[in-house]
Amino acid sequence: MAVFPPAIAMHPTLVFDIETIPDLDGFAAINNIDAGSLPLAELTEMALLARRQKSGSEFMPHHLHRIVAISCTLRHADKGRSDQNGADQLKVWSLGEPGSSEAELIQRFFDGIERYSPQLVSWNGGGFDLPVLHYRALIHGVTAARYWDWGDDDKDFKWNNYLSRYHTRHLDLMDVLAMFTGRANAPLDQMAKLCGFPGKLGMDGSKVLEAYQAGEIDAIRNYCETDVMNTWLVYLRFLKMRGTLSEAAYASEIELARSTVASHTAPHWQEFLAAWG
């Protein structure tokens, strides 16, 4: 089994993605509507119509996105294993359980940062995922001390923290590749496919609300997991482009990712593997 390339071994790397639906209770509270007096479908249409009238889009403002899934890919060395170099570890999963509350999902995410202080990687995380997590964590009273450290507790965080757009402790891969200008942003699905990876399978963000209202939370979590794996694969290609990974190290990481996916028997992973070719 291959050992870690130095750039990956130095710090655990956590790729993350969230899936959301409109926060209908929040919309009702803000607009002094008795949510319990309206059928769900009517309240949903009311919220989406109000948003269309204001912005021309049904995409809710960040603070009115309710998080229903958070998925992660974690790359780290398990130093507890007998392998003196640390056995390779790549884990992909969704936080909590299908019935977990939004508050629990968010707390688990920040607890992971507290534990590992990882390199965070996302695709549009600076533009969407993290602002949503900020607002929703504030609403639920979540504690996230390590994440919010600007250098008060750890001096290293003064010069490289999770909050600054131009620091690398959180790397929004889309933002970096676009040179920090929205005019050049590219969709993850398309970039993954152009790089030879599977891309999105069977669902996209526009279908999450419908799936959630149909009780298909597992399908949402599965979709979110494949998104973080696509992001991880594109990130590896980015490290290779930067020269951080040699050709041999890159090939080893890709093989580890492929074998990790193959080790999962769930249908969405078998579909992902088949699409990978």
Per-residue pLDDT reduced to its tens digit, 115-127: 999 999 999 999 9
Q: Domains in the chain, please, with CATH?
A: 6-23+60-276 (3.30.420.10)
Q: b or e along 32-42 (b: 16 or more beta carbons within 10 Å of the residue's beta carbon)?
A: ebeeeeeeeee
One-letter amino acid at 250 equals Y
At how many degrees (to 10) do helices 217-242 and 267-276 cross?
30
State pTM to two decimals: 0.92
**pLDDT computed for residue 233 by the predictor:** 98
**Lowest model confidence (mean pLDDT) among 30-39, 123-132, 202-211, 222-231:** 202-211
Extract the runs of DSSP E, i.e. beta strands, from the chain.
Answer: 13-22, 65-78, 87-94, 119-122, 170-172
- Please tell me the predicted confidence (pLDDT) of residue 80: 46
Q: Where does the pLDDT of residue 7 fall: very low under 50, low under 70, confident under 90, or very high at 90 and above?
A: very low
Res 78: pLDDT:
55
Q: What is the per-residue pLDDT across 98-144, written as a single tens digit (0 to 9) for each?
A: 999 999 999 999 999 999 999 999 999 999 999 999 999 999 999 99
- Confidence band, pLDDT 50/70/90 cuts, at residue 83: very low
